[in-house]
Structure formats: C-alpha cells, structure tokens
Amino acid sequence: MPTRLNSKPRFCSALFTLALLINLSGCVGEKQSLIWDTFKLGILGNDSLIDQANLNPSYRYLRADVNGNPALLVLGYENTKAGSAIETWYSSSKEVLQLEGGRLAGTGGLDTNWTDVSLMDAPAITSPELFPSDDSNTAKGKRNPKLFFFRIRSVMPQYIVNIREAVVMQGLNEAPEDAPKVLRDPANNLNLRWVQETVVLQPNNPSLPTLKAIYAYDKATKKIIFGRQCLNEKECLSWLAWPYPQGQSQVRAVR
C-alpha cells in the first residue's frame, strides 16, 4: 500500500504529540499561533482543496507530496545551524518536514523517516560553481562540473542508523523530464536552474540503494522553489513553494 503523507505517525502517542507541541510553542514565542493554525488547516490528501485553498499571505506554505499523496504544509519556525538556515514545516496531521539550505534535513510522521541528518561541508544548492559558464555552455554540449559532500543520516522506524554516504551534485542544463509540469510551463515565465544530487558511495551500507534528489531555484533571486528527495527505492518526497507561481492562489501544481 503506498505511503501517505497524512498517515498516522507510528512513533508518537497522543500524549507525546501534545507534549511536543507545548514545548515547540514555548520555544517559538510569537509564532506560537502559527504552529497551532497549522494543525487546524485540515487540507490534506486532496489536490483540489489544496489548489483552491484561500491562503493567509502572512504565512509561508509548501505543497508536499509522497508518491502522489499531497499535503499542504506551513512554516512553523526557522533557526540557524553553523550558518545554515533550518526550516521546520508542519501539516495538519502532524507530519513534520525539516529543510536545511533547501535540502531534506529530517521528517516525522511518514512511513519512512530520515532522522539525525548531518550535512558535512555541503555546497549551497545555488552555488555558482555548478554553472561556471553562461548559457552558451548548453549550446556547446558541455557538462557542468561536479561537487561533492558527505552526509550522515538514519532511517526510522526501519532503524537503519548512521548511514554514511558521499553525494555528488551537478547543475543540469535543462529541466528533468519528470519535473513538475508547472515548472516546465513557459507560461509561468520560468527563470530556473536545476541541480541534481546522487549518492555515489555508502561504505558502511553498500547494499542500500543510491538515491537521487533534484532541486530548482530562481536564477534571479536564488530562492529554492522545488525539491525532491527519494527516501528509499520506492518512496520519494517532493516539496514546492506554494502558491506557485507567486501571486496565484489557484493553480494546478504538480501533475
């Protein structure tokens, strides 16, 4: 049975969840109401409801998806870790998504969760080193250079801990064929760059699949618009800054 983003968290009891929310609300101060509003949104698992939702412009949203099961998430709070911004997003069914510099840094409430994610000397997704030439690079058929970094993560509740892996990242000269249609539609005045990441080495877990991720960011603003990280060989989690394009409250997003 496919993973649903709004599936009941396996690791949380109701009492633990309540205690966690109280603790979080105490930590974030002025954004306490934002966290509670997140859990009252109730817009999950239905494309039409998400696409037509009347969003509060005071909040920031993500449209997330796991294997075709959508959800609307709202930003709970941000903090920094070693100079990198970490965003924590919530759904109304208590799923949690953390992003660090645009990359997946942790999840909660899914059938497969990444925890204890540590990125070591990871270049920014928007690093200019990935695109050293101008657009003539595409015309000449040249490949963009590769950058490397290391990552440590654990997978729960499967309890695969301390997965150490080397990841290679490379700029793409065009959108992947499986990129969301809304990000390939010229009518949206796209100005995007695409980056792909692939696991190339897992010395302590050689039997694990080599997972991929893709990202899209706006060339002018350097804002990361879209990300998709495969959690295992069967499940991929994607997230899209919502609404997209900005200023539209009703768009068909990712089909």
Rounded mean pLDDT, 41-50: 59
- What is the reported pTM? 0.78
Helical pair 14-28 and 32-40, crossing angle rounded to 10 deg: 140
Give CA–CA dist 99/9, Å, rounded.
19
pLDDT beyond 80 at 252:
no
Across the range 168-183, mean pLDDT stands at: 92
* H/E segment holding residue 33: helix 32-40
Residue 245's pLDDT is 81
Percent of the chain with pLDDT over 90: 51
Q: Which band of pLDDT confidence, cut at 50, 70 and 90, is reported for residue 187?
A: confident
Structural domains of the chain, with CATH: 14-242 (2.40.360.10)
Left, alpha or beta for 65 (phi > 0: left; psi -120 to 50: alpha)? beta
